[in-house]
Amino acid sequence: MFTKEKEIKTMKDFLIGMVCAVCLFVTMTFFMWVCVAGQNAMDKDLWNNGVCACGGEWEFSNASAVHKHGNSYFYFCDDCGDVIELHSPQTK
């Protein structure tokens, strides 16, 4: 009797652990997705279809891998000298 109760308790602990692990995984995946989606939205805002706020066009300047989480892509505006940093390369 005692052994069976203990087994049930172990099973319960195991299941609770599994549920926690799955929840954590789902939460982390969700936050990563939100982070990437947010970055893409920011990139899109900055990029503005390749047009600078002054009306000039963004020209590709440089790519660097200084960040841990991927590359940075720099674009500059020939008209006003503005520089933007994007997280993914953009095409016009």
Binding site for Zn ion (CB under 5 A): 52, 54, 56, 77, 79-80, 82
- Work out how close the CB of 31 gets to Zn ion at its nearest, in angstroms, rounded to a whole number: 34
- Work out how close the CB of 53 gets to Zn ion at its nearest, in angstroms, rounded to a whole number: 6
Q: How many CB atoms lie within 10 A of CB 75?
A: 21
Instruction: Give the tokens for residue 75.
Output: 């674009």
Q: Compare residues 36 and 76 and give the one whose CB is closer to Zn ion.
A: 76
Q: Find, among 44, 35, 43, the residue nearest to 69 by Cα.
A: 35
Q: Compare residues 37 and 51 and give the one whose CB is closer to Zn ion.
A: 51
- Work out how close the CB of 17 gets to Zn ion at its nearest, in angstroms, rounded to a whole number: 55
Q: What are phi and psi of 16, to 5 degrees?
A: -60, -40
> Residue 51: how many CA atoms within 13 Å on its side-chain side?
5
Q: Compare residues 27 and 61 and give the one whose CB is closer to Zn ion.
A: 61
